[in-house]
Structure 1
């Protein structure tokens, strides 16, 4: 039985062009990903649909087309294939291969880090896809767990790189490639990009090193508010595993080279990093688990993992607004601990599960809490008893709050501030990236 559309999006049983909607899979910064059926070719796809109120923005449409063309141009066994993209029935869409299993970020939050051999194998597969992209002149610029889809078939685990929404090809029009701010996710961003450097294969290699660390221990290499996070990427020691044998020693060497502060000291290519990962898998027996070493004492640190959806984001973010450099502290002044905790948890969930940028997520979370209050958000089903964003059985944001999240999120991105100048709270035009497909038979 069909359900009505949500805030301008189609519902199950409705169509966009030749695609019939089956169900919603995940929420992204500016739209929704659905499982759909291609009624012409009779195959199931992941259909990314852009929110109607941003699809008319010429710059956004250009970036959307750039994303689709960039990903469709790749021929790699570890990059999610794009089947088609375009406009139908007034909606911008991109149809990709449906990868059952969800993304690596969701897997890490749900189950923690996989066995070390599995972690190395997954990252080696991603390195293959990334190297294939570089070979075509394409730089991804947002390598992170949420952009790695995972499929499990028996004992075989396959990884696929996705979301080329901020990718840049050599020679692309700079006006379409960036808005002057650093693109990417701060927790996985190369040091030089925090200070206005130019993205390239070496910055993707750095992010790949961060991804390796996250796959091994279940969290990003550094944490904190944006300014502290940027400082850690620039000057903090490269995180290391507690050494228990040759496996950890070799992996630590790979981490040091991949995450070297200077681009010239990193691996020359993603494929070179992949080859070293494969060598370790071939030559060094892996322990059943690994631990992070204390950076000062060289001993195992507590094996902690972010609780629920709150992640490791700080509770306070500072965003500089364009036109006068006004500082806006995105916290609730004078609010209770519960209110600030709710803001932090909602923001972290939007970053990790919905591919929001951190400033957009903070703004959205703050306004949701200000609008309704913590108790009302609990009653509406947005927050659970621990003040964390509720999820449905597929691990995505509860359908009952989809419209509110998208509406408030869009206002945080596109509103005008201070003398009619556009808000600088976003670092890039957000696109749908989260595929959040529940595991299990279809």
Structure 2
């Protein structure tokens, strides 16, 4: 008798069994080997099943993410917090404090108590139609405008300004400023530039009239020296952007409109991500997650779907605020699209990871709702979203680098406000991605769905 695998189908074996093909047994009790062609068919079927199963998993994950989005956008209160409030606050702060923004001259009240040719040159230097608008007022009015908050700063030229200039003494220009105003620093810089210009004119006039003696032509020589500042100054300064480093323009503040557009984008992306992540807690309280897990859906699929839903909402928030800032305030968000996209996607991941992690440590949606605004506001304040971090102390600037909002603002300012390329976005993006990866891993492993 030949081998058991060679027996015809249905032929009886010596032990009384019937050979049914691959399930037949020989005298030794072992199963007969299946045909090679049958094995290949089974392998192909397994592979097709795996591919089909993988596609089904992706569909289930996307369906869960889509469900999360629908739940948010069907709720009117959620629409207000995701769309209405961010647009309103960005517009209000940008319009109210954006005096230093592009296309809008800075109004500078000037009290000229000296009323001389020297002070007139100073006022003319400040009155630049493209950047600033000098408005002549009295000393009392200048101080009142700053005290009432109408203007961030004002200039007062003392009565002895010309006398001190001619005598070679230090001539002062008084700057009355509100420390909390965005335009105060710009006014102080204008005053400093005007004072240097006046000092240079006096020096040139003194050198020119030195051999002649007397002081009758001092004023004329001063005015003559000032004519060399127009249309171009005696010394031209050519500036170019260098690689981001410790020597980069850290003290260069972004225009007010740009500052608020960047800051509120970072702030609201963070807050919306935290709020959206809290939806998992609400579903857990209502029991919908328990019913979802009772379906043929894995826990990993539910977690991925919910996480993607949070990331989608945060991405929508970022895109909306970027478009709003570009259209309404003219913020150059498109200066380097690749760098901006890299930073925003990194911010979305960091915000999503933080939201998932926080939702893993709190028990109820009400607790998450209480934590979200406090944590978001604290991170925004420490990271420089509400005001330029450059005006704070060196210690606060170092603390900002311990927060994801701080790194997001560093990268966005370098790219959008300072015109740097994608190389300036690499380090902030790497920090945000690392932060998001760590927080997301912690949140996913500790989050309880039941």
By the TM > 0.5 criterion, same fold?
A: no
Structure of greater Rg: 2
Asked which structure has the greater RCO (Cα within 8 Å, sep 6+), the reply is 1
Q: TM-score, normalization: structure 1?
A: 0.21
> Which structure has more strand as a fraction of its residues?
1
Q: TM-score, normalization: structure 2?
A: 0.21
> Which structure has more helix as a fraction of its residues?
2
